[in-house]
Structure 1
């Protein structure tokens, strides 16, 4: 009997945590669901990641209002995925910031991603009728840009390809805290369906070079302290490399996608099967690793139909 498609069977409400990761800095987390960051400046607030719907975004806003009444002036998206960006309208009319590449990905594949993620994550898209449409930035950057929230400087940077081609990280230098989006995860599977396996470990090393004292990751608990940060960066690198290596070996010997599936499971299951959304991510991760090992540099666009076809072919 086939497993339920993606996270379709995960309908239980998650417990929200709102953790301080630095002075005026918070991580909104929910047991492996997408995280959101909060940066409080002198006069206003920056939000990192909008959530999937206005309904979920209002949970973030409630937490923000528990610690400050300052207006929300900026909304930064670390990448283009629907579960990160489609709740943007709940925040009013802030400046919406993405990398140039992330904006291009909205144009190229944003609607397809929305359609496919809607089927993958029915719980996250409860209240989807409030979403007014795709989320577009009002400001983009190439390599880096600094935003001042009064005296507090926030650096928004593209350090390299990883989870997607257009990933951004947000660095708050006065507290040595970083918001990494899905480049770093903690006890949650990395979704690699739009990933770049060869670049990802290099980008993680770029993050580690900043020596963050805390990280708000894309999924999983807030990482407070250098030891927890190092552990999460190392485990993320291990996850990425443990997914790609066996798939690349299969490709080198002329094996099939199903062979790659079996090989990746053999290496990853003993280490990561208890991670959040592990089974959800696995077919997409194997398919992308198999493609990259065959020399396909740009991830193919995921559609709702392609999702289900792949899921059936591998999970059956």
Structure 2
């Protein structure tokens, strides 16, 4: 991963934005390693989506959510186990029930310590936010689907299967037509491929394409990506089109027995030409590496 630079990955709740009745998002303001965070209400309960990185940020989110809930029961869920999304869950202990899918719970338990060490190496601002992290154990673990009744509003939690990670989860609010994708979708940047062989090779470009096709076909009115600006159905279509192009351009070169180094150089240049305004160019190389590996398995 690239070395992190300032500003600090700090959640700021002042700019919370209402997307629908009793549904707000704390936006990431374009700050690296800060996720978009959801707070979804019903008559008797409120669900928080994502914690922010570390107990300090999560404490800020918890205070906001508790004030917003006004005495309603709190729940917490996370879209996947990565540090800026889930490594603050300990702050919610005793205040909210922590709810995730089985694959994500396994990721958090088995891979969480390694990611904690890796992210601490990204620089002092990140390491400071991760001080005192204790990886939380979920209170409720489901297999593939869970419908959470908040009172007059049911929120759908769905495990997608392996894509950006093994434990990806999409959170949908049907009555508001709002979908939280986590890092399955980002705005204004190349898809994040956590491809770190031999330590972590769970990301799957092939499966990711299948998942994002399903999400795009669902046609949500509002899409809240893991990072970047909130959008609509076009956001999912853009991610789908990019991933398909990345696969096709990688595989056509792999078919010609081109070296992976040359494939990376050529595909990176092509993707930057197509999307010169997108951030996260370092993730193109990781995506090519992942898809080269999957090409060999097809």
Same fold, judged at TM 0.5 (above): yes
Which residue of 1 is the match for residue 288 of structure 2?
286
Which residue of 1 is the match for residue 193 of structure 2?
192
Q: Does 1:236 align with 2:239?
A: yes
Deviation sequence 1:110-155 (CA, Å, 0-9, x none): 2222222332365344332231x22332222222111111232111
CA distance in 2, matches of 1:147, 1:289: 36
Deviation sequence 1:249-296 (CA, Å, 0-9, x none): 3332333332222022122112334324x1343343333222222229
Which structure 2 residue ranges, 5 or more long, are not aligned? 195-201
Which residue of 2 is the match for residue 111 of structure 1?
113
What's the CA shift for 1:45?
A: 1.6
Contact 1:22 1:214 in 2 (8 A): no
Work out which structure has the larger RCO, using CA pairs closer than 8 Å and 6 or more positions apart in sequence. 1
Which residue of 1 is the match for residue 7 of structure 2?
11
RMSD after superposition: 2.5
Number of residue-to-residue matches in the alignment:
285
- Please state whether the residue corresponding to 2:36 is helix, strand or coil: strand
Q: How does 1:98-247 map to 2 (within 5 A)?
A: 98-120=100-122, 122-131=124-133, 133-193=134-194, 194-223=202-231, 229-247=232-250
CA distance in 1, matches of 2:180, 2:18: 13
Q: How does 1:33-112 map to 2 (within 5 A)?
A: 33-64=34-65, 67-71=68-72, 73-93=74-94, 94-112=96-114
Q: How does 1:300-311 map to 2 (within 5 A)?
A: none
What's the CA shift for 1:211?
A: 2.4
Which structure 1 residue ranges, 5 or more long, are not aligned? 224-228, 297-316
Segments ≥4 residues shifted beyond 6 Å: none
> Mean Cα displacement is larger for which, 206-215 or 6-15?
6-15
CA distance in 1, matches of 2:116, 2:252: 33
| 1:85–1:209 Cα change, 3 Å | same
CA distance in 2, matches of 1:84, 1:204: 20
What's the CA shift for 1:26?
A: 1.5
- Please state whether the residue corresponding to 2:240 is helix, strand or coil: helix
Contact 1:27 1:222 in 2 (8 A): no
TM-score, normalised via structure 1 length: 0.80
